[in-house]
Amino acid sequence: TDPSALRPGVKLRPEIAALPPYRQGRAAAPDGYKLSSNENPFDPLPGVASAVTAASDFNRYPDATALVLRGKLAERLGVSVDEVHVGAGSVSIIAQLVLAAAGPGDEVVYSWRSFEAYPGLVTVAGARSVQVPNRADHGHDLPAMAAAVTEATRLVIVCTPNNPTGAIVTADEFSAFMGAVPSDVLVILDEAYVEFVGDPRAVNGIPLLGHYPNLVVLRTFSKAYGLAGLRIGYAVGPVAVLDAARATAIPLSVTGQATAAAIASLDAEDELLDRVRTIAARRDDVWRGLNEQGWAVPKPQGNFVWLPTGEHTTAAADELFASGLVVRAFPPDGIRISIGEHESVEKLLSITGKIVQNLP
């Protein structure tokens, strides 16, 4: 018998003891490519790196309210500084908002598949996930999501472009959805990849904020701005809701280095958005290449593509991995592949071309 089974265990919340930790992308081999975490493949800009180095007073606690950064964001977005909240990555703000809105007995509605962190964050809050299947075209089924809202619903999370399928929510779909959801139910519009969107029909949450008292828009510096390792993202929305997020936040988790990098990135925005255009064009090339090979890949709008490999997902991901490409497998549905370095594209398409021929 396993000796640990005889030892009395520490009493943990059973649902937490059963909860696996967040799954991180594997590292790539030195000659391979890490295409598993939707990171920005460009090296940090020298000006951003020197702003991080200059933030050297780290014997002191940071201004974790990030007031200077919030002021800069508020000015750009046309909102007040208290309508902006900064967190250590937008995922930490999702956690804060889930805790603020939903507890035991409450429900949180979101589409599935969507961002892998949502289910765990709902469980941590003690609430219950209500997952609404995506449409056959891999987009959110917003009418079904609105219909899934009950008396017990405290939060709905809408992700556009959706991680991992890349589909957008249109402005028309979103306004119909907001009209159908009671105005006392919080809605998070997770726009982590908004800067990569090419489709003009896509919703943009910021101009809608004045219309809906229950809407919070989430954005991040991790993807388009290339600051994933520094952990900084932000929410824009009603002050009362953001105050509740500030109340559930772990104190002082946004570092001065991250804030300095975000400010320097906004100052270098033109250059960074040029890079975003390069990545979006590369993404469209990959999409065209995959479709020419016979894949039915939905038109991607983030910095990643979705390969619907179905029951062959694990085998296909292993084949990509063996060739030096680390991707994110979501068995039994598909594989999410980040748009990475220019050199990774040819390699990717040569392997997917072989895989598609071996599919039954």
Chain residues that interact with ligand PMP, rule: CB under 6 A: 38, 89-91, 115, 159, 163, 190, 192, 220, 222, 228, 233
Looking at the Cβ atoms of 218 and 355, the one nearer to ligand PMP is 218
With contact defined as beta carbons under 8 Å apart, do 353 and 293 qualify? yes
Give me the least distance between CB of 154 and ligand PMP, in Å please: 19
Looking at the Cβ atoms of 205 and 289, the one nearer to ligand PMP is 205
Give me the least distance between CB of 350 and ligand PMP, in Å please: 27
R_g of the chain, CA atoms, integer Å: 21
Give me the least distance between CB of 131 and ligand PMP, in Å please: 15
Residue nearest to ligand PMP (CB): 89
Report H helices in 102-222: 117-125, 142-147, 171-180
Place of tokens 């390792």: 229
Helix (H) or strand (E) holding 355, with range, is helix 342-358
Looking at the Cβ atoms of 33 and 221, the one nearer to ligand PMP is 221
Give me the least distance between CB of 11 and ligand PMP, in Å please: 31
196 closest CA partner among 115, 111, 273: 273
Place of tokens 């809906």: 212
With contact defined as beta carbons under 8 Å apart, do 152 and 184 qualify? no
Q: Taking the CA of residue 135 as centre, how many other CA atoms within 13 Å lie in the half-sphere pointing to its CB? A: 14
With contact defined as beta carbons under 8 Å apart, do 198 and 279 qualify? no
Beta bridge partners of 304: 338
Give me the least distance between CB of 36 and ligand PMP, in Å please: 10
Give me the least distance between CB of 186 and ligand PMP, in Å please: 16
Give me the least distance between CB of 40 and ligand PMP, in Å please: 11
Looking at the Cβ atoms of 66 and 351, the one nearer to ligand PMP is 66
Give me the least distance between CB of 193 and ligand PMP, in Å please: 7
Helix (H) or strand (E) holding 5, with range, is helix 3-6
Amino acid at 67: L
Looking at the Cβ atoms of 160 and 344, the one nearer to ligand PMP is 160
With contact defined as beta carbons under 8 Å apart, do 307 and 335 qualify? yes
For 344, the token pair is 């990774």
Looking at the Cβ atoms of 40 and 309, the one nearer to ligand PMP is 40
With contact defined as beta carbons under 8 Å apart, do 62 and 251 qualify? no
Looking at the Cβ atoms of 289 and 302, the one nearer to ligand PMP is 302
Looking at the Cβ atoms of 55 and 235, the one nearer to ligand PMP is 235
- Coil, strand or helix at 235: strand
Distance, in Å, from the CA atom of 236 to the CA atom of 243, rounded to the nearest integer, reads: 11
